[in-house]
Every structure is written in structure tokens, then in C-alpha cells.
């Protein structure tokens, strides 16, 4: 999931890295499926997740950006392309593609101003951990601007249950028939109704420049 909170005028022009969709039919897989909000780059013309910082960052070459499509979205399948929102030094993006090894996604774990780097554990994720001393990224990709909740369509993400998304709805009680044949109601009852969407935490990142 990705959301662009703000940017320069005509900031949609920042989707200026485009590359071949690596796997336009699969919904899951290892290293082939791109999820919107992942940190990616163009690898010989094909969009790929930025290597984990636990690898060898010195071999990483290319402009970085955040995928604005899932590889299995209709547009991405039709065009065979994935577009990236680049590190423009100005915009704020919100993504749920965050390394869970750093802890829960909240402001206690991610205070405002914390530098953000590519994950050292999982390709394409972001992290507040800058790898080891020998495999550290030289510069952050951005800084924490906040943590918020965005609605995401079902199916429910890991850790989010349908019951946790209930809200209370007031409904009329049983009708009482009167002599005149007009139904009257003597009060309301409360019942639980499921939301069709779920709220999930996202990390807001003030982007650095490529």
C-alpha cells in the first residue's frame, strides 16, 4: 500500500522510473512480486526490490523509488510495466511495507525524525536499522514524518482481524402494531456491523533525494 501525502506541484510526474513488470500474473512469490509501497529500483530495465542492507549495498546501483502499483494490478498486467515514485527530496509517502523486525509500527518505535533505510532483512521493505558496520547504507532514504492509519480493502492484512474492525450501529427494535394499523417503534437496539475495509498502520516518510 502507498499513499502520497504531499509533494511539489504536478508531483505525479515523480513517477518517472518505469520498468518491466517482473511477474504480472502471480499474487505471491519470492523476489518476483512487487507490492505497492515497496522500495524498488530498475535492474537492467526490470523493476526489482532494493536489496536488503544485510547483503552488499556497495553493489547497489540505480535510482530508488516506491512502487505505485502491485505487479498483479490490471494496469500493470496490461502495460507490463511498474512505475516508481522517486526520492524527490520533497514529498511525503505513506507505506505499510515496513520491516517488522524493528518492532510495532507506532511513534514509540518510530519517533518523528528517525532516519529510514532499506531493510537489512527483507528485499523491498524499509527499516530504521542501517545494517551492520560493514554493510550499512551511506545515506537514509528519508526520515519519519509520522505514523497514521489508512483504509485498505479486504482481505485483511496479517495481524488485523474482522472483529477488531467492528463498529456499533443503531437499529430499530420490533414494531408494535397499533389499532389504526400504523406500526410504531419503542426504541433502538445496538448491533455490531462489519466494516468492508480495514484500517492498517502506515509509516509516513519525508523523502530524501536520490
**Residue 147 carries which DSSP code?**
E
Q: How many CB atoms lie within 10 A of CB 62?
A: 15
| Cβ-contact 147, 135 below 8 angstroms | no
* Cα separation, 49 vs 42, whole angstroms: 9
Report residues of the chain scoring pLDDT below 70.
6-15, 28-31, 54-62, 152-198
Residue 11 pLDDT: 53
C-alpha cell at 8: 511539489
What is the model's pTM?
0.74
pLDDT tens profile 38-87 = 999 888 888 888 888 766 555 565 678 999 988 888 888 889 999 998 88
* Cα separation, 165 vs 161, whole angstroms: 7
Amino acid at each position: 500500500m502507498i499513499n502520497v501525502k504531499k509533494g511539489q506541484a504536478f508531483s505525479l510526474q515523480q513517477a518517472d522510473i518505469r520498468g518491466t513488470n517482473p511477474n504480472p500474473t502471480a499474487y505471491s512469490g519470492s523476489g518476483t512480486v512487487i507490492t505497492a509501497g515497496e522500495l524498488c529500483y530498475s535492474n537492467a530495465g526490470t523493476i526489482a526490490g532494493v536489496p536488503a542492507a544485510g547483503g552488499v549495498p556497495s553493489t547497489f546501483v540505480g535510482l530508488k523509488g516506491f512502487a505505485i502499483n502491485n505487479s498483479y494490478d490490471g494496469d500493470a498486467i496490461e502495460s507490463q510495466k511498474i512505475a516508481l515514485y522517486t526520492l524527490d527530496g520533497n514529498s511525503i509517502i505513506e507505506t505499510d511495507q515496513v520491516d517488522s523486525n524493528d518492532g510495532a509500527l507506532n511513534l514509540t518505535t518510530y519517533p518523528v525524525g528517525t532516519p529510514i533505510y532499506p531493510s537489512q532483512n527483507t528485499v523491498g521493505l524499509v527499516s530504521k536499522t542501517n545494517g551492520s558496520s560493514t554493510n550499512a547504507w551511506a545515506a537514509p532514504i528519508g526520515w519519519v514524518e509520522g505514523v497514521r492509519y489508512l483504509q485498505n480493502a479486504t482481505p485483511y492484512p496479517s495481524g488485523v482481524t474482522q472483529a477488531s474492525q467492528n463498529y456499533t450501529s443503531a437499529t430499530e427494535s420490533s414494531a408494535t402494531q397499533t389499532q389504526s394499523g400504523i406500526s410504531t417503534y419503542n426504541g433502538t437496539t445496538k448491533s455490531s456491523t462489519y466494516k468492508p475495509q480495514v484500517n492498517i498502520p502506515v509509516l509516513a516518510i519525508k523523502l530524501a533525494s536520490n
